[in-house]
Structure 1
Amino acid sequence: MTEDARPQGFDTIAIHAGSAPDPATGARQVPIYQTTAYQFRDADHAAALFNLQEAGYIYSRLTNPTVSALQARLAALEGGAGAVCCSSGHAAQIMALFPLMGPGLNLVASNRLYGGTMTQFGQTIRRFGWSCRFVDLEDADAVRGAIDADTRAIFAESISNPGGYVTDIPALAAIADAAGIPLIVDNTLATPALCRPIGMGATLVVHSLTKYLTGNGTVTGGAVIDSGRFDWSASDRFPSLSAPEPAYHGLKFHETFGPAAFTFHGIAVGLRDLGMTLNPQAAHYTLMGIETLGLRMRRHVENAEHVAAWLAADPRVEAVSYAGLPDSPYQDRVRELYPHGTGALFTIRLKGGYDACTAMIARLKLISHVANLGDARTLAIHSASTTHRQLTPAQQEAAGAGPDMVRLSIGIEDAADIIADLDRALG
């Protein structure tokens, strides 16, 4: 094997993928290309770009060099063929579904998803004529039973928010493959530092860049990474990718672009018409955040394991839902699929119920009470009264967001200081 062919390590890819010295100035960090539009060489060049006959930059709603660098880095980290960045994690979910769905069609999704996703899939997408069937993904028969001729995808989180459950991605991928539909995995909580769903059989990976990838609470953004391995032309279920596209003179995305079909469609149709654009400054912040992703995730996991163990031994705490604990029922799965850790988000159940949870939140000093996660800072929220309040009590319990639970996103501070603040707040 030559030196150039040697696979690079994760931390090297996190720093270098998608990045090269700027050819005009020699700038080593990716510049912020704060521009709306780009000069065409001539009329033929412009026509070729608009006809998708040549790759390049037209207008920053579609493509931008800073955003392109981030897309290349994300694809490299996840082991994908391409990526499309957009304005938020919720936007990424719609971008992932947009080429697959149509009126009357459905997807099958976990009943343990983030509350906002439950609302998006359970309520909002109905306005498009789409529907979602929520099932327990631990029950393979229930997953298979929910799939019918109108199902176009299975959707899961690698690690669920807020319950911290870890998903058996290979098992779901096998079910999706047998049904001839893609598996979409939200890898926000694990990040590619802890889990690479494409290597386990996922077709698409989505991210909220807002969380660990940026890692400092400064950005709102999302991304869809395509494995490039799904045969969109194997049936007539995915006409957006396999059939002639009227807006491009009958071009067939899969036939024309092969493994890059989903990515090209996401830019040429998704961003063109939905306009969920990531701004270049946010892309720049995320690129800088990703440079330290491996280091940060190791510290996040180390702190989370330490804090969770302390909480599990505290008499004021009824239970801790964290797959990183030695007595977790997911330990066999963790060892096989998540050997580098199960993230830093988990819930604690307090013996005093709802009132004890709100009182604890009020007494926090170091830990921030905010509706975010994946920050360098430790964050806390009472999900039942905030992020999951739109759900029914049964849905809250299924999602791991009952009224007696507090969600903790453990940061990278000194673990002793996190524990001291929790000790004081628990009263």
Structure 2
Amino acid sequence: MTDKPLGFDTLAVHAGAEPDPATGARQIPIYQSTSYVFKDADHAARLFNLEEVGFIYSRLTNPTVMALANRVVALEGGAGGIACSSGHAAQIMALFPLMGPGCNIVSSSRLYGGTITQFSQTIRRFGWSASFVDTDDLDAVEAAIDENTRAIFCETIANPGGYVTDIAALAEIADRNGLPLIVDNTTATPWLCKPIEHGATLVVHSATKYLTGNGTVTGGIVVDSGKFDWSRNDKFPSLSQPEPAYHGLTFASLGEMAFTFHSIAIGLRDLGMTMNPQGAHYTLMGIETLGLRMERHVKNARQVAEWLEKDPRIEQVTYAGLESSPYYERAKTVVPKGAGALFTVAVKGGYDACVKLVDSLKLLSHVANLGDTRSLIIHPASTTHRQLEAEQQVKAGAEPNVVRLSIGIEEAEDIIADLDQALTAATS
């Protein structure tokens, strides 16, 4: 290695892992172990006191899982991070050190349907709540913040519509109000956007999607920028004040690793949202080709979106890489390498035509996932966003006449041919 900062594709292959010191194995091994032998009693005490970094029990840390977390941290340009059991787990893990009963978050209304349900329903059982706003309306974001707000939450490229968020503008609002900005970067990946460079405090991922890239793993990542001063106000006592759940340690005293150590020592310890080492291994291997895959995803998505926009059977295409998109100029700044590979299509014929389209496809797979090497399709109104009210579906970009496409890395001509024959069947 040299002193020169390593490029993205080099980090994707090398970051977070060295040859195994015991065997010389070049690929990170799957450490399928629950626990680790301490050198002596003093070593054990230092580990439990967070005076030394090491391995205690795999619910907390595991060498394979830690290698994955460190690799994504390197790609995102963060200070520290954790890997956990799913993208939904990552969202709870990101909020856990920040929230308490009666606290709320201000969230984008343009989110994955499962996230809207998690924020509007499930977190209420913890005594937390969420206000949903259109994050393009910055005045509405500011107005939604009150004395009990503890974070702002958004997606870089919103699922399902592919809308691009002005992260820097939200970061300014968050900073002005002494709040962290949490950005879900799943659909962009750090190859397209590094939210920390735009002012984000925390970045979350569903590693299930593009990071792994092959539909084999569920996993989540939380990356901390290390730049937020948790002691700047009294809103975050779990980090800024002695934490009774960890013998009175003030985590903020640990500097830029405060959030990460809290997430391990308390979050993973007590919530148990642990990623398994075999899943972490699969994701590590997937990340090695992330840059190559994303380049092809974006190229294909642009070609497919341009074809669909010209098709008379289509009412609208929401791809931000099209000049007709209201997000086209913003995408040049937020995701300059391309607008991702996720977008929606409004089909003439409404709900029934969408169902026929999905049922008529042969190459594209009808699944509740995205970010796979394979091209995928789903009708959000009848699946991922089914639990939402009609008004919520519209705000999320999941109207009844809309299908979501996740464009894979196959030959673009083959994707288009399959969509063409299915559209014929759906609208004839």
TM-score > 0.5 by shorter chain: yes
Letter matched to residue 392 of structure 1: E
**In structure 2, what is the equivalent of residue 4 of structure 1?**
2
Q: Secondary structure at the match of 1:258?
A: helix
Do 1:62 and 1:271's aligned partners in 2 also have CA atoms closer than 8 Å?
Answer: yes
Q: Secondary structure at the match of 2:83?
A: strand
Q: Point out the more displaced range, 3-12 or 154-163.
A: 3-12
Matched, 1:121 2:148: no
Letter matched to residue 192 of structure 1: P
**In structure 1, what is the equivalent of residue 391 of structure 2?**
394
Trace 1:14-25 onto structure 2 (pairs within 5 A): 14-25=12-23
**In structure 1, what is the equivalent of residue 79 of structure 2?**
81
Do 1:215 and 1:375's aligned partners in 2 also have CA atoms closer than 8 Å?
Answer: yes
Task: Show structure 1 runs of 5+ residues with no match.
Answer: none
Q: Displacement of 1:5 after TM fit?
A: 2.3
1: CA distance between counterparts of 2:333 and 2:234? 36
2: CA distance between counterparts of 1:179 and 1:52? 31
Letter matched to residue 305 of structure 1: R
Q: Displacement of 1:121 after TM fit?
A: 0.2
Q: Point out the more displaced range, 320-329 or 301-310.
A: 320-329
Do 2:164 and 2:334's aligned partners in 1 also have CA atoms closer than 8 Å?
Answer: no
Letter matched to residue 410 of structure 1: I
Trace 1:4-403 onto structure 2 (pairs within 5 A): 4-255=2-253, 257-403=254-400
Do 2:174 and 2:180's aligned partners in 1 also have CA atoms closer than 8 Å?
Answer: yes
Q: Secondary structure at the match of 1:156?
A: strand
Do 1:51 and 1:248's aligned partners in 2 also have CA atoms closer than 8 Å?
Answer: no
Q: Secondary structure at the match of 1:66?
A: helix
**In structure 1, what is the equivalent of residue 412 of structure 2?**
415
Q: Secondary structure at the match of 2:259?
A: helix
Q: Secondary structure at the match of 2:403?
A: strand
Q: Secondary structure at the match of 1:118?
A: helix
2: CA distance between counterparts of 1:206 and 1:129? 22
Do 2:246 and 2:266's aligned partners in 1 also have CA atoms closer than 8 Å?
Answer: no
Letter matched to residue 8 of structure 1: L
Percent of aligned positions with the same letter in both sequences? 72
Do 2:85 and 2:218's aligned partners in 1 also have CA atoms closer than 8 Å?
Answer: yes
2: CA distance between counterparts of 1:306 and 1:4? 39
Letter matched to residue 323 of structure 1: A
Question: TM-score, normalization: structure 1?
Answer: 0.98
Q: Point out the more displaced range, 211-220 or 45-54.
A: 45-54
Q: Secondary structure at the match of 1:108?
A: strand
Runs of 4+ in 1 over 3 A off after TM superposition: none
Q: Secondary structure at the match of 2:420?
A: helix
Do 1:203 and 1:229's aligned partners in 2 also have CA atoms closer than 8 Å?
Answer: yes
Question: TM-score, normalization: structure 2?
Answer: 0.98
Q: Displacement of 1:4 after TM fit?
A: 2.8
Q: Secondary structure at the match of 1:153?
A: strand
How many residues get paired? 424
**1:62-106 CA-partner distances (Å, limit 9, x unpaired):** 000001111110100000001111000000000000000000000
1: CA distance between counterparts of 2:391 and 2:7? 44
Q: Name the Cα RMSD after superposition.
A: 0.7
Q: Secondary structure at the match of 1:302?
A: helix
Letter matched to residue 162 of structure 1: P
Q: Displacement of 1:282 after TM fit?
A: 0.5
Task: Show structure 2 runs of 5+ residues with no match.
Answer: none
